[in-house]
Amino acid sequence: MLDNLTLDQIRVFVTIAETGSFRAAAAKLARVQSAVSHAIANLEAELGIMLFDRSGHRPVLTAEGKALLGNAR
């Protein structure tokens, strides 16, 4: 699953998972929050899966997101 991903895509994804929010990830990566959101939306579209459940206050990894995180680390 990681073969076609860029290092930047992996870095953004892992940072969101570690910080627990798109805003905190953006701050840690020195980017605006919209750029981080856009990067994850593109990654999810490219993979054809949802990596985060955004229905609550904070993004929560889906089962697919957890699997990707395990491989990314």
Q: Which residue has the tokens 């605006």?
A: 32
Pick the CATH number of 7-72 from 1.10.10.10, 1.20.1370.20, 1.10.3720.10, 1.20.1250.20: 1.10.10.10
Asked if the model's pLDDT at residue 70 lies above 70, the reply is yes
Q: Which residue has the tokens 């990681």?
A: 2
Total-model pTM: 0.90
Q: How far is it, in rounded angstroms, from Cα 17 to Cα 23? A: 12
Domain ranges of the chain: 7-72
pLDDT digits (tens, 9 = 90+) for 6-61: 999 999 999 999 999 999 999 999 999 999 999 999 999 999 999 999 998 899 99
Q: How far is it, in rounded angstroms, from Cα 46 to Cα 41? A: 9
